[in-house]
Amino acid sequence: MRTQDPKTIYLKDYQEPAFWVEHIDLTVRIFETHTDVESHLTLKKNPNIASRDLVLNGVDQDIIELALDGQPLTQSDYRRDEESLTLTCDRDDARFSSLTRIRPQDNTSLEGLYQSGSMYCTQCEAEGFRKITFYPDRPDVMATFTTRIEADQTRFPVLLANGNPVDSGELDEGRHFATWNDPFPKPSYLFAMVAGNLSRKDDTFTTRSGREVALRIFVEPQNAHKVDFALESLKKAMRWDEDTYGREYDLDLFMIVASDYFNMGAMENKGLNIFNSAAVLATPDTSNDLRFERIEAIVAHEYFHNWSGNRVTCRDWFQLSLKEGFTVFRDSEFTADMHDRAVKRIHDVVDLRAAQFPEDNGPMAHPVRPDSYIEINNFYTATVYEKGAEVVRMIHTLVGPELFRKGSDLYFERFDGQAVTTDDFVACMEEVSGRDLTQFKRWYTQAGTPRVTVTDHFDSDTGEYRLTFRQSCPPTPGQREKDSFVIPIKMGLLDADGNDLPIRTDADYNPDTQVLTLTDTETRVVFSGVNEKPIPSLLRDFSAPVRLQFDYSDEQLAFLAKNDANGFNRWDAVQQLYLRAILGMSEDERMGKNAQVPSALLDTVASIAGDTELTPAIRTAMLSLPGYAILKDAVDEIYMENLVAARKAVINAIATRYRDIWRSLTEGLAGRGDYEFTAAEAGRRSLQGLALWYWLKSGDQAAFDFAADLYHHAGNQTDRGNALRAVLAGEDHALQDELLEHFYERWQDDTQMVEQWLSMQSSAPNIGAADIENLMEHQAFDIKNPNKVRSVIAGFAMNVESFHDETGQGYELVADMIGRLNGINPQIAARLVTIFSDWKRFEPKRRAMMESTLKTILATPNLSPDVFEMTERALK
Ligand code: ARG
Ligand code: ZN
């Protein structure tokens, strides 16, 4: 609890520990009322460090016995504070032993060892191991682990830990034990154990060198039918990592466990991945296509960590993006290879713009490699993960795929079994490519989204076309001035027929990749041999995480949307059209002018909707308007009512003007046969869902009937969810109530379905703060379960109309929730604070309300360091 002055940790203070741990022998004895943990550490002096201080982290443990080399320690032998215990150790080789008592069943923070439903499981990243036993809980200390678990045989028939099973047997009083050994040295954050009554599904994978790996998924018995998709995804990921990175799995056993109570998506513990149930359990009847794609990606992500994270890990937590940025890049390439590359890129960029850009544009902005933190859990952010992945992607773009692969081979080989830094990663890329990436590394150290403003000039006499690029980066907390970035701009020039012109220039341009590399504040590029003024297509495939601005006319954007050879940029041109229209109309509204939907936009919508040369998935993406996160991020001052009115007006115009198109698309895209999760089928369903949504928005009674019918006869959750979401967005309240009630009746015993039921309601328009209060009173809600909290609260926060209701009720509701969660699960409470982090960008009225809400949170008694850090940063 609140520590008056929570301690700030700085990267510049990094020092190796005075002692390494070579091996840990751990015994965990689970009893009804408590759990006893016995641990023996084989220590080795670090010759690089003069100090003889043995520093062991430990939190929320009762000490029963401590000993050094068999000699019991008394309180005068060590110094203790809230987080650690320090003693002097005179020998270079020593053995530290401890016996402590913990209470996993009362551990609602879901860090360390805790109870989840009927099972016990762990989450140790980042600093959860210190809640299990005294240990140098830092990622640069890598040890081999032997873990013995003892528990009641009936209640916990399954006992799992990292590595290989080496022994098991019965004990007195109906108890039993299992011993596991992990031969790969690892940091404590990768420790895991599970005890439960779990059902298991087995499979095998033969590695390319011919080794057979046993695969096992463990879930609570009621979920036994939901594991097949994850197993298939795992095998695809294992194959892909062999094919793409030459990485083979190393142990003989790979296990996945699903847990209903989990703070994040999943965790890459060595040989024993633990997943949030929502990120692994799937059937067509209970998971929609987006969920299938997400599960496949997360299973792959955690598997890929076995190399990018486990075999080569992080030296300290400032290097978190070393494993996360790289692994997100790897999983996103995996998804691109499995499905549709352009669609995957579009989805990633939508997420980046909706989550990471706003983060980088406000008080929470921090570099991909932060320089300081109070609570590291607050830095598992879109910047570290998604922007970190973009940084790796830019390296890939700059050096090219072959050299990138060479660089990653070198990285894995050179640093296998070590804890390293982002500099080490980049150094490998420099070494194989001969390219100096010193300036490039500013992407790791400077926060903020760079702006690139582009202007052009055409000289018909000389046949020269000139583009001038100017880059700048706004100040972010603690960083006023920025030096210029290395920015790869993938580009083309379109002629009047929409074809790419051959490019001739002496600028730093690579014709094979179409990439122009900017390094200076201002770069002028001259293209020669150009006969007519071209239309530039810039930042193809979103080759850098920047805000690029070029003064296109609406007609030029419509032209690019139709003709650009780059699928991503066709989509992006339409997005710019939408964005510009909505922002323009919002501004007109505010000035009391009559807002008009531009005709270039409406024409473009019709031509996309009818363009059967485009895949349904791309059409869905092109017909989807930017969400409020992106709209808010694009204005200087947020006038929520006007943005809402403008976005609604555009939707209504699209819906009513093209009612017949939406109707015929909806009817024409009906499914045939059994559900299949393929890019083509998922694309079809998504376009049908969007068409139905627009059709229903047009107010056509036939659309409501169609939706009700689709809901009742849907053979899968994608169609069912599309139908329900469309109905919830309409005005037929009786039908809404009827379907919601039916849904709950039918699916109340299925946790994943109940979560969807909650979030569909909390994010539906027309839901007010009072409805949310009711939802939290419902038996389906459980404040101790992060998925339930997210379903209700995060859904509500995206429901901009009620959340930003002018009474301030929405703000109060979320603040109240943060206050309640502060004592239960500080990590989740701290996350919710980010909902308010753009408060300063609002018009005066809401700005004041949100500021006072944040101040109320800051005044909460016993504020956790987690919430304290986030609230204090938000207020700055
Ligand atoms: N390393 C996990 C991943 O795959 C995330 C775990 C983070 N957990 C936490 N409590 N901060 O991304
Ligand atoms: Zn990860």
Nearest CA to ligand 1 atom 7: 125
- How far is it, in rounded angstroms, from Cα 90 to Cα 86? 13
Range 786-805 average pLDDT: 96
Q: Cis (ω within 30 of 0) for the bond into 365?
A: no
Write out pLDDT tens, residues 236-278: 999 999 999 999 999 999 999 999 999 999 999 999 999 999 9
Nearest CA to ligand 1 atom 4: 267
Which residues have CB under 6 Å of ligand 1?
Answer: 123, 125-126, 263-264, 266-268, 301-302, 324, 377, 380, 827
Please identify, by atom number, the ligand 1 atom nearest to the C-alpha of residue 377. Answer: 11
Span from the CA of 265 to the centroid of ligand 1 (angstroms): 7
Write out pLDDT tens, residues 442-463: 999 999 999 999 999 999 999 9
Write out pLDDT tens, residues 513-563: 999 999 999 999 999 999 999 999 999 999 999 999 999 999 999 999 999
Please identify, by atom number, the ligand 1 atom nearest to the C-alpha of residue 305. Answer: 4
Write out pLDDT tens, residues 342-388: 999 999 999 999 999 999 999 999 999 999 999 999 999 999 999 99
Nearest CA to ligand 1 atom 1: 267
Closest to 433 measured CA to CA, from 457, 450, 411:
411
pLDDT at 3 over 60: no
Span from the CA of 190 to the centroid of ligand 1 (angstroms): 10
Whether the CB-CB separation of 466 and 522 falls below 8 Å is answered with: no
Closest to 186 measured CA to CA, from 247, 246, 129:
129
End-to-end CA distance of the chain: 23
Please identify, by atom number, the ligand 1 atom nearest to the C-alpha of residue 267. Answer: 2
Nearest CA to ligand 1 atom 3: 267
Angle at 533 between CA 530 and CA 534, to 5 degrees: 85
How many angstroms separate the Cα of 467 from the Cα of each of 66, 115, 510, 522, 533? 70, 60, 16, 10, 12
Span from the CA of 332 to the centroid of ligand 2 (angstroms): 12
Span from the CA of 474 to the centroid of ligand 1 (angstroms): 30
Q: What is the phi-psi region of residue 699: left when phi exceeds 0, alpha when psi lies from -120 to 50, beta otherwise?
A: left
pLDDT at 1 over 60: no
Span from the CA of 65 to the centroid of ligand 1 (angstroms): 32
Extract the tokens encoding 162: 């990292």
% of the chain with per-residue pLDDT over 70:
100
Looking at 445-449, 745-749, 762-766, which range is the least confident one?
762-766
Report the pLDDT value the prediction gives residue 2, as an integer from 0 to 100: 45
β-strand partners of 39: 26, 98
pLDDT at 626 over 70: yes
Helices H, strands E: what count in the chain? 30, 33
pLDDT at 337 over 50: yes
Helices (H), 339-387: 341-351, 357-360, 382
Whether the CB-CB separation of 214 and 164 falls below 8 Å is answered with: no
The two most distant CA atoms of the chain are separated, in Å, by 96
Whether the CB-CB separation of 669 and 616 falls below 8 Å is answered with: yes
Range 59-65 average pLDDT: 97
Please identify, by atom number, the ligand 1 atom nearest to the C-alpha of residue 324. Answer: 12
ipTM for the complex?
Answer: 0.98
Question: Residue type at 126?
Answer: A
Residue recorded with tokens 């393929």: 678
Extract the tokens encoding 246: 């030459």
Residue 88, helix vs strand vs coil: strand
Range 71-98 average pLDDT: 97
Ligand whose nearest atom lies closest to the CA of 381: 1
Ligand whose nearest atom lies closest to the CA of 308: 2
Nearest CA to ligand 1 atom 11: 377
Whether the CB-CB separation of 558 and 608 falls below 8 Å is answered with: no
Given the DSSP bridges, would you call strands 143-152 and 19-30 parallel, antiparallel or unpaired? parallel
Closest to 635 measured CA to CA, from 525, 423, 644, 732:
644
Whether the CB-CB separation of 633 and 790 falls below 8 Å is answered with: no
- How far is it, in rounded angstroms, from Cα 690 to Cα 617? 11
pLDDT at 6 over 70: yes
Q: Which of 125, 262, 331 has most ligand 1 atoms within 8 Å of CB, for mutation?
A: 125
Q: Which of 137, 262, 267, 275 has most ligand 1 atoms within 8 Å of CB, for mutation?
A: 267
Ligand whose nearest atom lies closest to the CA of 276: 1
What percentage of the chain's residues is helix, strand, coil (to nearest 5)? 45, 20, 35
Range 380-404 average pLDDT: 98
- How far is it, in rounded angstroms, from Cα 495 to Cα 89? 75
How many angstroms separate the Cα of 366 from the Cα of each of 318, 326, 369, 541? 11, 18, 8, 25
Report the pLDDT value the prediction gives residue 116, as an integer from 0 to 100: 98
Annotate 766-796 with three-state secondary structure: CCCHHHHHHHHHCCCCCCCCHHHHHHHHHHH
Span from the CA of 244 to the centroid of ligand 2 (angstroms): 19
Distance from chain centroid for Cα 381: 7
Ligand whose nearest atom lies closest to the CA of 329: 2
Range 212-233 average pLDDT: 98
Whether the CB-CB separation of 252 and 211 falls below 8 Å is answered with: yes
Closest to 475 measured CA to CA, from 336, 632, 362:
362
Distance from chain centroid for Cα 596: 37
Write out pLDDT tens, residues 657-681: 999 999 999 999 999 889 999 999 9
- How far is it, in rounded angstroms, from Cα 842 to Cα 411? 45
Distance from chain centroid for Cα 478: 25
Nearest CA to ligand 1 atom 5: 267
Burial (CB < 10 A; 0-12, 13-18, 19+), residue 781, is middle
Q: Count CB neighbours of 782 within 10 A.
A: 15
- How far is it, in rounded angstroms, from Cα 876 to Cα 851? 10
Please identify, by atom number, the ligand 1 atom nearest to the C-alpha of residue 263. Answer: 10
Ligand whose nearest atom lies closest to the CA of 190: 1
Span from the CA of 189 to the centroid of ligand 1 (angstroms): 10
Span from the CA of 839 to the centroid of ligand 2 (angstroms): 30
Whether the CB-CB separation of 600 and 650 falls below 8 Å is answered with: no
Nearest CA to ligand 1 atom 8: 125
Please identify, by atom number, the ligand 1 atom nearest to the C-alpha of residue 301. Answer: 4
Mean pLDDT value across the chain = 97
Span from the CA of 77 to the centroid of ligand 1 (angstroms): 36
Distance from chain centroid for Cα 714: 30
Extract the tokens encoding 583: 């922002």
E strand residue ranges, 111-211: 112-116, 119-123, 143-152, 158-161, 164-170, 175-186, 193-196, 199-206
- Annotated catalytic residues are 302
Range 312-321 average pLDDT: 99
- How far is it, in rounded angstroms, from Cα 218 to Cα 201? 7
